[in-house]
Amino acid sequence: MAEAAQKRSRRLSEKKIIEKKYAYLLNIYTEDYVFFASAEKGKVAETFPLVHNYALTYALGFTTAPYYFKEQLPKYEEQLDLLNEKGIYVYPAWQQKGMRRLIQYNTTDEGYLSVRGQSMGIPNWGFIKAIGPGSLFTTIVLSSSPLEFPTYIRLGKWMSLCKVSVSELSIQSANRKASDMLLNVNDLVSLPNYFISFYNMLPSRLLKGAEWEKAIDGYVVELDHFSYFCPESCYFYH
Protein backbone atom coordinates (compact mmCIF):
# COMPACT_ATOMS: atom_id res chain seq x y z
CA MET A 1 0.00 0.00 0.00
CA ALA A 2 2.76 2.42 0.97
CA GLU A 3 4.68 1.65 -2.22
CA ALA A 4 1.58 2.24 -4.35
CA ALA A 5 0.94 5.55 -2.59
CA GLN A 6 4.53 6.66 -3.22
CA LYS A 7 4.24 5.78 -6.92
CA ARG A 8 0.98 7.71 -7.20
CA SER A 9 2.45 10.74 -5.39
CA ARG A 10 5.49 10.67 -7.71
CA ARG A 11 3.22 10.43 -10.77
CA LEU A 12 1.11 13.40 -9.65
CA SER A 13 4.16 15.53 -8.96
CA GLU A 14 5.30 14.96 -12.54
CA LYS A 15 2.07 16.35 -14.04
CA LYS A 16 2.70 19.75 -15.58
CA ILE A 17 0.06 22.46 -15.38
CA ILE A 18 0.69 24.84 -18.27
CA GLU A 19 -1.13 28.17 -18.42
CA LYS A 20 -3.85 28.32 -21.05
CA LYS A 21 -4.00 31.40 -23.27
CA TYR A 22 -6.54 30.37 -25.93
CA ALA A 23 -10.10 29.13 -25.57
CA TYR A 24 -12.50 27.71 -28.17
CA LEU A 25 -16.21 26.95 -28.11
CA LEU A 26 -17.06 23.84 -30.14
CA ASN A 27 -20.60 23.06 -31.29
CA ILE A 28 -20.88 19.48 -32.51
CA TYR A 29 -23.87 18.55 -34.71
CA THR A 30 -24.66 14.86 -35.17
CA GLU A 31 -25.53 13.83 -38.74
CA ASP A 32 -26.26 10.20 -37.90
CA TYR A 33 -27.08 8.06 -34.87
CA VAL A 34 -24.24 8.14 -32.31
CA PHE A 35 -23.75 5.19 -29.97
CA PHE A 36 -21.50 4.78 -26.94
CA ALA A 37 -22.05 2.00 -24.41
CA SER A 38 -22.07 4.49 -21.52
CA ALA A 39 -24.03 2.05 -19.35
CA GLU A 40 -25.33 -1.48 -19.85
CA LYS A 41 -28.47 -2.43 -17.96
CA GLY A 42 -29.56 -5.95 -18.74
CA LYS A 43 -30.48 -6.04 -22.43
CA VAL A 44 -30.17 -2.26 -22.86
CA ALA A 45 -26.93 -0.49 -23.82
CA GLU A 46 -27.51 3.20 -23.14
CA THR A 47 -25.73 6.27 -24.54
CA PHE A 48 -25.64 9.10 -21.98
CA PRO A 49 -26.53 12.63 -23.23
CA LEU A 50 -22.87 13.63 -23.31
CA VAL A 51 -19.56 12.87 -25.00
CA HIS A 52 -16.58 11.86 -22.83
CA ASN A 53 -13.61 14.18 -23.25
CA TYR A 54 -11.21 11.29 -23.97
CA ALA A 55 -13.34 10.22 -26.95
CA LEU A 56 -13.49 13.84 -28.14
CA THR A 57 -9.73 14.27 -27.86
CA TYR A 58 -9.11 11.28 -30.13
CA ALA A 59 -11.88 12.30 -32.54
CA LEU A 60 -10.45 15.82 -32.92
CA GLY A 61 -7.08 14.33 -33.86
CA PHE A 62 -5.08 15.70 -30.93
CA THR A 63 -3.78 12.21 -30.14
CA THR A 64 -3.97 8.79 -31.75
CA ALA A 65 -3.99 5.12 -30.84
CA PRO A 66 -2.32 2.35 -32.86
CA TYR A 67 -4.52 0.41 -35.26
CA TYR A 68 -3.31 -2.93 -33.89
CA PHE A 69 -3.26 -3.89 -30.20
CA LYS A 70 -1.42 -7.01 -29.13
CA GLU A 71 -3.59 -7.06 -26.01
CA GLN A 72 -6.96 -5.42 -25.33
CA LEU A 73 -5.61 -2.90 -22.86
CA PRO A 74 -6.27 0.84 -23.34
CA LYS A 75 -3.37 3.24 -22.82
CA TYR A 76 -5.28 6.47 -22.34
CA GLU A 77 -2.86 8.01 -19.86
CA GLU A 78 0.19 7.34 -22.01
CA GLN A 79 -1.46 8.74 -25.15
CA LEU A 80 -3.19 11.72 -23.51
CA ASP A 81 -0.32 12.82 -21.27
CA LEU A 82 1.43 14.19 -24.38
CA LEU A 83 -1.25 16.89 -24.49
CA ASN A 84 -0.44 17.98 -20.93
CA GLU A 85 3.06 18.85 -22.15
CA LYS A 86 1.54 20.92 -24.98
CA GLY A 87 -0.91 22.70 -22.70
CA ILE A 88 -4.04 21.35 -24.44
CA TYR A 89 -7.19 20.24 -22.67
CA VAL A 90 -10.61 19.21 -24.05
CA TYR A 91 -13.55 19.26 -21.63
CA PRO A 92 -16.42 16.74 -21.91
CA ALA A 93 -19.29 17.82 -24.18
CA TRP A 94 -22.83 18.23 -22.89
CA GLN A 95 -26.01 17.91 -24.95
CA GLN A 96 -27.76 21.18 -25.76
CA LYS A 97 -30.61 19.76 -27.81
CA GLY A 98 -31.67 16.58 -29.54
CA MET A 99 -33.24 13.25 -28.76
CA ARG A 100 -32.27 9.68 -28.03
CA ARG A 101 -33.93 6.69 -29.69
CA LEU A 102 -34.32 3.12 -28.48
CA ILE A 103 -33.32 0.68 -31.22
CA GLN A 104 -33.82 -3.09 -31.03
CA TYR A 105 -31.28 -5.46 -32.59
CA ASN A 106 -31.27 -9.19 -33.34
CA THR A 107 -28.00 -10.88 -34.24
CA THR A 108 -26.39 -14.27 -34.58
CA ASP A 109 -22.92 -15.24 -33.47
CA GLU A 110 -20.15 -15.07 -36.07
CA GLY A 111 -17.18 -17.37 -36.26
CA TYR A 112 -14.60 -18.78 -38.64
CA LEU A 113 -16.25 -22.17 -38.44
CA SER A 114 -19.94 -22.60 -39.15
CA VAL A 115 -21.46 -25.68 -37.55
CA ARG A 116 -25.11 -26.51 -37.86
CA GLY A 117 -26.30 -27.72 -34.51
CA GLN A 118 -29.66 -28.10 -32.90
CA SER A 119 -31.42 -24.75 -32.73
CA MET A 120 -32.33 -23.60 -29.24
CA GLY A 121 -34.53 -20.80 -30.58
CA ILE A 122 -32.71 -18.20 -28.50
CA PRO A 123 -31.47 -15.26 -30.64
CA ASN A 124 -28.91 -12.76 -29.42
CA TRP A 125 -31.08 -9.66 -29.00
CA GLY A 126 -31.23 -6.43 -27.07
CA PHE A 127 -31.75 -2.69 -27.22
CA ILE A 128 -29.48 0.27 -27.94
CA LYS A 129 -30.36 3.79 -26.81
CA ALA A 130 -28.51 6.02 -29.27
CA ILE A 131 -28.27 9.79 -29.80
CA GLY A 132 -30.33 10.84 -32.82
CA PRO A 133 -29.33 12.90 -35.86
CA GLY A 134 -29.67 16.67 -35.50
CA SER A 135 -28.50 16.68 -31.88
CA LEU A 136 -26.19 19.43 -30.66
CA PHE A 137 -23.32 19.03 -28.19
CA THR A 138 -21.15 21.82 -26.81
CA THR A 139 -17.67 21.72 -25.33
CA ILE A 140 -14.73 23.99 -24.58
CA VAL A 141 -11.09 23.47 -25.54
CA LEU A 142 -8.25 25.34 -23.81
CA SER A 143 -4.71 25.63 -25.11
CA SER A 144 -1.43 27.41 -24.50
CA SER A 145 -1.07 28.08 -28.25
CA PRO A 146 -3.45 28.55 -31.23
CA LEU A 147 -5.22 25.42 -32.50
CA GLU A 148 -6.88 24.30 -35.70
CA PHE A 149 -9.93 22.03 -35.77
CA PRO A 150 -11.42 19.67 -38.35
CA THR A 151 -14.77 20.51 -39.95
CA TYR A 152 -16.03 16.96 -39.52
CA ILE A 153 -15.25 14.24 -36.99
CA ARG A 154 -16.49 10.71 -36.32
CA LEU A 155 -17.78 9.63 -32.93
CA GLY A 156 -18.91 6.47 -31.19
CA LYS A 157 -18.77 2.77 -31.90
CA TRP A 158 -20.47 3.33 -35.26
CA MET A 159 -17.97 6.07 -36.26
CA SER A 160 -20.90 8.40 -36.90
CA LEU A 161 -20.32 11.63 -38.83
CA CYS A 162 -20.56 14.92 -36.90
CA LYS A 163 -20.02 18.51 -38.03
CA VAL A 164 -17.89 20.85 -35.90
CA SER A 165 -18.41 24.61 -35.60
CA VAL A 166 -15.68 26.60 -33.79
CA SER A 167 -15.75 30.05 -32.15
CA GLU A 168 -12.82 31.62 -30.31
CA LEU A 169 -13.53 32.79 -26.77
CA SER A 170 -11.93 35.44 -24.60
CA ILE A 171 -10.07 33.87 -21.68
CA GLN A 172 -8.69 35.10 -18.38
CA SER A 173 -7.41 33.44 -15.23
CA ALA A 174 -9.88 33.45 -12.37
CA ASN A 175 -10.79 31.91 -9.02
CA ARG A 176 -14.29 30.64 -8.43
CA LYS A 177 -16.22 28.34 -6.07
CA ALA A 178 -18.63 26.85 -8.63
CA SER A 179 -18.74 25.66 -12.24
CA ASP A 180 -21.63 24.64 -14.53
CA MET A 181 -19.23 22.75 -16.81
CA LEU A 182 -19.35 19.00 -17.36
CA LEU A 183 -16.12 17.82 -15.72
CA ASN A 184 -13.92 14.72 -15.58
CA VAL A 185 -13.18 13.63 -12.01
CA ASN A 186 -9.81 12.11 -12.98
CA ASP A 187 -8.60 15.34 -14.57
CA LEU A 188 -9.59 17.97 -11.99
CA VAL A 189 -6.68 19.51 -10.12
CA SER A 190 -9.01 20.33 -7.20
CA LEU A 191 -11.79 17.83 -6.44
CA PRO A 192 -15.17 19.45 -5.59
CA ASN A 193 -16.93 19.19 -2.25
CA TYR A 194 -20.39 19.05 -3.84
CA PHE A 195 -21.97 18.36 -7.22
CA ILE A 196 -25.44 18.08 -8.76
CA SER A 197 -25.16 15.35 -11.42
CA PHE A 198 -22.86 12.33 -11.48
CA TYR A 199 -22.22 9.92 -14.39
CA ASN A 200 -20.62 6.64 -13.36
CA MET A 201 -19.11 5.44 -16.64
CA LEU A 202 -15.90 4.24 -18.23
CA PRO A 203 -13.11 5.12 -18.68
CA SER A 204 -13.72 7.70 -15.91
CA ARG A 205 -16.56 9.35 -14.02
CA LEU A 206 -18.01 12.71 -15.02
CA LEU A 207 -19.93 15.26 -12.96
CA LYS A 208 -21.81 18.53 -13.42
CA GLY A 209 -22.73 21.41 -11.13
CA ALA A 210 -19.53 21.22 -9.07
CA GLU A 211 -18.97 23.42 -6.01
CA TRP A 212 -15.93 23.97 -3.80
CA GLU A 213 -15.75 25.33 -0.25
CA LYS A 214 -12.79 27.51 -1.25
CA ALA A 215 -12.17 29.31 -4.54
CA ILE A 216 -10.01 27.29 -6.93
CA ASP A 217 -7.85 28.18 -9.94
CA GLY A 218 -9.26 28.13 -13.42
CA TYR A 219 -10.35 30.29 -16.34
CA VAL A 220 -13.39 32.36 -17.24
CA VAL A 221 -14.21 32.09 -20.95
CA GLU A 222 -16.69 34.42 -22.64
CA LEU A 223 -18.35 35.14 -25.98
CA ASP A 224 -21.32 37.54 -26.15
CA HIS A 225 -23.74 36.18 -23.52
CA PHE A 226 -21.83 32.89 -23.18
CA SER A 227 -19.73 32.69 -20.00
CA TYR A 228 -18.31 29.66 -18.15
CA PHE A 229 -15.78 28.98 -15.42
CA CYS A 230 -13.39 26.19 -16.47
CA PRO A 231 -11.61 24.66 -13.45
CA GLU A 232 -7.92 23.90 -13.94
CA SER A 233 -7.65 20.40 -15.40
CA CYS A 234 -5.11 18.14 -17.04
CA TYR A 235 -5.40 14.59 -18.30
CA PHE A 236 -5.17 11.92 -15.58
CA TYR A 237 -4.20 14.30 -12.79
CA HIS A 238 -5.69 11.88 -10.24
Tell me whether strands 93-97 and 39-41 are parallel, antiparallel or unpaired: unpaired
In a domain, 142, yes or no: yes
Residue type for position 178: A
> How do the pLDDT tens digits run along the chain, 238 residues long?
344 444 444 454 467 789 999 999 999 999 999 999 999 888 999 999 999 999 999 999 999 888 777 777 888 999 999 999 999 999 999 999 999 999 988 776 666 655 555 555 556 789 999 999 999 999 999 999 999 999 999 999 999 999 999 999 999 999 999 999 999 999 999 999 999 999 999 899 999 999 999 999 999 999 888 899 999 999 999 8
Neighbours of 188 (CB within 10 A): 21
**Domain limits for position 150:** 16-65+72-103+127-231
pLDDT value, residue 61: 95
In a domain, 136, yes or no: yes
pLDDT value, residue 108: 65
pLDDT value, residue 113: 58
Neighbours of 168 (CB within 10 A): 13
Give which of 134, 117, 121, 102 is closest to 32, Cα–Cα: 134
In a domain, 117, yes or no: no
- Cβ contacts of 43 within 8 Å, gap of 6 or more: 125, 126, 127
Q: Tell me whether residue 6 is exposed, middle or buried, using C-beta atoms within 10 angstroms of its C-beta: 0 to 12, 13 to 18, 19 or more.
A: exposed
In a domain, 204, yes or no: yes
In a domain, 237, yes or no: no
Number of domains composing the chain: 1
pLDDT value, residue 5: 41
pTM confidence score: 0.87
